[in-house]
Structure 1
Amino acid sequence: MISEHDQKLATLILEHSTEVQKDQNVMVQLIGLNGINLLRALVEQIRAKAAHPFIQIEDAESQRILVEQGNETFWKNQAKVDQLPKMKQMDAFIGIRASENIYETSQAGKEANKAYSEHFLKPVHFDERVNNTNWCIMRYPSPAFAMNAKMPTRAFTEFYYKACLVDYGKLEEAMKPLEKRLRATDEIHLKGEGTDIKFSVKGQNWVPCFGKRNVPDGELFTSPVLDSINGVISYAPSVYQGKPFEFVKLEVENGVVVDFDSSNNDALKDILDTDEGARRFGEFSFGLNPVIESPMYDILFDEKIYGSNHLTLGKDYEVAPNGNSSNIHWDLVCIGADVYLDGELVRKGRKFVADDLKGLNPEELL
């Protein structure tokens, strides 16, 4: 039986996020079987709109085998024969990440991950899906997901839907004063425990996010001027390529990572050595979802934590470019640093202190 929450989430995704219209082609991808009821709600509502759902259900463990054993030839063929031609015909893409184990691909080696990223993810998703479809990506709640969040399953499920179904119209309006300030800003300075880093965003585009591409949502992003970044930054726990990191700390000179420390330095070195752009940064963002308070080892939630910022290693987005090209895009999150815009303190810790920005604090949005 499809729950009322899943029906509401499906409606949000189709009407607000992807704006599906009659006769459009919509790919609905489910990785892991846990989110089957959301998929069913989506399919039902897509057909009610007289649009055309294309269902893709993937078993997480089978996908692990492919990632571990795949090589350049295999992924080029997968992209060429199946996924890329199909994606080129889609008007919208909805991705439900419902795997029970976020560490499923943690044993895939450096070369296997590189082949998958370069010859499948990049052409199919980064180049085609991101740039040419209305797309939305989300996770789906499970006991394993709740465990990573250190919450009881029932409490986590309630939190999940509350975070996903925030009032995005209200959040969009509250972002506008910050967007206005940022478009006039040259230098951003983050300063906090283990973090003291400065960079320029002069002339860069800013993109407000309020439920159009991710659910849950709530961020305002750009890309830093590529060679302007200098200092040190410390990040919250993260998982990338199925590998857990309890902390990551980077030292940056003129936009390039020159030193690093983490709870898993061998894996971090492999990621940074992916290509030249992997040691540079392609995105900077403010996390603004008023419901999400702490990291849960899932970047679609963690990058939206209120009072956070992410300074992202790897590829930029075409909508807010800075010229960095890479086969990785790792949204590492820094929580609670003071934020200065051209020397003015606008956020102290996790709360905005500038009068025109206080509307973004959680007590004003909930």
Structure 2
Amino acid sequence: MALQSCASQLVAGHRFSASNLALIVLLIVFSEFHVVLPEGCNSPAPSSECGCNSLNRDGNDRGDDSFHKEAVKKYSKEKNANPDDSHERRREVSTEPAPGKLNQMVLIPGGAFLMGTDEPGIPQDGEGPARRVHIQSFYMDMYEVSNLEFEKFVNATGYLTEAEKFGDSFVFEGLLSDKVKNEIKQAVAAAPWWLPVKGASWRHPYGPDSSIADSLEHPVVHVSWNDALAYCIWASKRLPTEAEWEYACRGTLENRLYPWGNKLNPKGQHYANIWQGEFPNKNTGEDGYVRSCPVTSFPSNGYGLYNMVGNAWEWTADWWNVHHTTDETHNPKGPESGTDKVKKGGSYMCHKRTIETQSPWRHVRMSWCEKKKNRSAEEERRSRRLKDRTERSKERDETASACVST
């Protein structure tokens, strides 16, 4: 897909089976999430694609909210206010005191934007048609959920991820040690660079001989959608809808290839952790990283959100849907049931041609719907400043367009 056609896709979603997530999510590079506060292939994938859609764990799909109901009972903070320190699954990965920033939430002021495109690069992905969407104000995590934060959740609840329960997860071949690779006898036919690795999990992202001891500020990976949901419930937050995620990703900008503008590397500066070089053979790491990076890396977008593009795919709350109308909508949500969940944002294994604002990606970032009557004076001022900035940006764009047309 050409760069120009991808531009209209930086907000399109990719699908992952809710149960298969445990496997898919397991991709060290993909399985992150931002949180919000509540109110099959038969031939090798093209070299520009990472092949994550070829990963499946059969027979585990849940097309309903049964896991959500179970998770609310088991993983809420109320249920885990005084965890048993002797719990056999309570394990510390880090030693005193763990470094790193904990997440903060950013106000995303409500507004309207044009979601989707009338010229989809991949029609079957359901990127069209373009439709006007209104979003109410909500809060969103400034950063992707880090290993440090997920560790706190596990230590408080004794939670076991689906990858840990299954006993294995997919890992990109280039990140494995020779010892681990020599023990693997199979691969994914449609994406042979993905290998099923026994013992791979969020604690051991690159196989059983790896750890997160030196990457506590990196995004937690190998987490399924169900794992992300359990974490959000514990944190008293929720996953953003696809529309909320896309709106927040734009960072007040419209009709741009990326959340920061139309150039991938303006003035030679890198704004995202993505793949440089020939995939899957060599990542040159021109952006400073050949795998994941700390969640605080790179400049934030216009709303103050970091790594909305690249680093790790991010889960959303919505079920996959390819049927849309041109009707104007308010706070849309995906179907009530399904077999696939939408991920957004891409990962460090995504090439520049697949990361424009209408693209899909996966990890965890949370959000929640704000109660307007409880907004502080500072939040009101911040909201007004952001809206004023957006209006000024629109005025500049209109002026530039007028100049070009003359």
The structure richer in helix per residue is 1
Give the TM-score taking structure 1 as reference length.
0.24
The structure richer in strand per residue is 1
Give the TM-score taking structure 2 as reference length.
0.23
Question: RCO higher in 1 or 2 (8 Å CA, sep ≥ 6)?
Answer: 2
